[in-house]
Amino acid sequence: MKKIGVLVSGGGTNLQALIDAQKSGVLKSGEIVTVVSNKAGAYALERAKNVGIDAHVILRRDHASKEDFDIALRDYMQSKGVEVVVLAGFLSILGENFLNAYKDKIINIHPSLIPSFCGDGFYGLKVHEAALSYGVKVTGATAHLVNEITDGGKILLQKAVYIEDGDTPEILQKRVMEQAEWIILPQAVEMICAQD
């Protein structure tokens, strides 16, 4: 069983999908051993505590530089024996100290079909606003490996979601989570954990 560390910033719906996948057996080659947030009040921390998973906060403001913050994250993950890292709504860009320590072992979920509506500045509702304003008929989610290019790592899985008449960014965001993100993120984590 690979040890998984999850990085979060918000409510933790993708974390919940991973916890549920662990219970149901979709995620069977890995186990979540810690959840780390860069925001003290993130509800994702409560989700972790509710099922007995270590929950920890590392704040950027407590570190002199972005690099020091990155090193603190890396060192904490390594202290927990983490082998695979999942970004589940983590709103901070990881630097080279972290990326090099977990090369090809960091998974992110992005709420569009990469290469559409991705890269710097595309996160949260902004992705769905862009898809709607462009007028695409199909969007979705992408589970991918993380490298030094924002949303530029190897694609692991994608799932399409149709845009419907009357969609708002909020409605579309919810449908993409329910029909794509919560399904492919656990599958992608299992894929990476199952590798030797």
Tokens 């003290």 correspond to what residue?
40
Nearest to 144 by CA among 76, 82, 60, 87: 87
For residues 110 and 153, what is the distance between their CA atoms, to the nearest angstrom? Answer: 11
Whether a cis peptide bond, with omega within 30° of 0, leads into 115 is yes
Q: Is 110 a catalytic residue?
A: yes
Task: Please answer whether residues 180 and 140 qualify as being in contact, where contact means their C-beta atoms are separated by less than 8 angstroms.
Answer: yes
Catalytic residue of the set 63, 110, 128, 144: 110
* Residues designated as active site: 110
